[in-house]
């Protein structure tokens, strides 16, 4: 009987580990997919700055690698995502041009929006334990990246937020920002390491600097500043996760 319970416990532990691994890969995929979309829109917003196209190609490849890893780990989890992701991959070599006045086609906008909405919803269904500080940091980074990607989408559109139809507004930026700040505040109260505390304070300040622009879809905002600060936030998250791993 003791041997039976031991095997039962080990099976449960392996299942929990597999689910945790899958959850981490899903978050990483969502993060890189959002970053790739932002870089794609930045190429358009800067009217053809090749640095952003290079970033898009590089990060999209990372997002695809994490998607394939996720599919291998948990194929049922990506069943709904796969058709949408395949459409994005099919258009991965598309490049807006001066002849098009660097306008992103509506079908691509819709693909990106639908994917962001579905991937973010799927990530949100995962439960993060209070002790998993690195997981909470990853979720903060994802919140910032998804909100930024939607901001760049709207900044790119001639009609701004009016281009967002009612069925693709599942990612409400005000709700996302509120939840993200609550998570950030809670982290600041439980983290002990001084370097991480400093990083979290800097993240809070950088987000405060761009929050109004991002969640209100203010097209008159300097999109370069939003891109710079959201990248700095993610770098600070990565640095903090590195410190956690070494403790």
Q: How does pLDDT run across 25-52, given as a tens digit for each residue? A: 999 999 999 999 999 999 999 999 999 9
DSSP for 82-132 reads: HHHHHHHHHTTT----GGGTTPPPHHHHHHHHHHHHHHHHHHHTS---TT-
Closest CA to 110 of 169, 185, 63: 169
Q: Taking 80 as the threshold, does the pLDDT of residue 20 lie above it?
A: no
Q: How many other CB atoms are there within 10 angstroms of residue 233's CB atom? A: 24
Q: Assign residue 30 a region: left if phi > 0, alpha if psi is -120 to 50, beta otherwise?
A: alpha
- Per the listing, tokens 């194929």 go with 75
Which phi and psi (to 5°) does residue 244 adopt?
-60, -40
Closest CA to 133 of 9, 244, 3: 244
> Quick one: average pLDDT of 102-129?
92
pTM (2 d.p.):
0.86
Report the alpha-carbon distance of residue 237 to residue 231 in Å, rounded.
10
Average per-residue pLDDT for the chain: 86
Report the alpha-carbon distance of residue 137 to residue 170 in Å, rounded.
22
For residue 212 the two structure tokens come to 């109004």
Q: Taking 80 as the threshold, does the pLDDT of residue 66 lie above it?
A: yes
Question: Residue 170 — pLDDT band, cuts 50, 70, 90?
Answer: low
Which phi and psi (to 5°) does residue 49 adopt?
-70, 115
Q: Taking 50 as the threshold, does the pLDDT of residue 172 lie above it?
A: yes
For residue 22 the two structure tokens come to 């899958």
The percentage of residues in the chain with a pLDDT greater than 70, rounded to a whole number, is 84
């Amino acid at each position: 009987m003791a041997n039976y319970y031991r095997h039962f416990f080990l099976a449960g532990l392996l299942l929990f580990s597999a689910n945790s691994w899958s959850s981490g890969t899903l978050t990483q995929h969502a993060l890189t997919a959002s970053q790739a979309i932002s870089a794609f829109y930045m190429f358009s917003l800067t009217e053809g700055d090749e640095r952003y196209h290079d970033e898009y190609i590089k990060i999209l490849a990372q997002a695809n690698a994490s998607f394939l890893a996720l599919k291998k780990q948990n194929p049922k989890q990506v069943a709904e995502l796969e058709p949408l992701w395949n459409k994005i991959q099919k258009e991965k070599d598309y490049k807006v041009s001066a002849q098009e006045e660097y306008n992103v086609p509506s079908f691509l906008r819709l693909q990106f929006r639908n994917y962001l909405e579905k991937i973010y919803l799927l990530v949100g269904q995962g439960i993060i334990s209070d002790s998993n500080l690195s997981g909470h940091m990853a979720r903060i980074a994802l919140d910032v990246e998804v909100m930024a990607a939607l901001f760049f989408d709207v900044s790119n559109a001639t009609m701004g937020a009016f281009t967002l139809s009612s069925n693709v507004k599942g990612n409400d930026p005000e709700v996302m920002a509120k939840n993200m700040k609550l998570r950030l505040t809670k982290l600041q109260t439980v983290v002990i390491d001084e370097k991480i505390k400093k990083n979290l304070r800097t993240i809070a300040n950088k987000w405060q600097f761009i929050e109004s622009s991002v969640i209100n879809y203010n097209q008159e905002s300097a999109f370069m500043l939003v891109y710079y600060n959201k990248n700095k936030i993610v770098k600070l998250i990565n640095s903090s996760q590195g410190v956690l791993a070494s403790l």
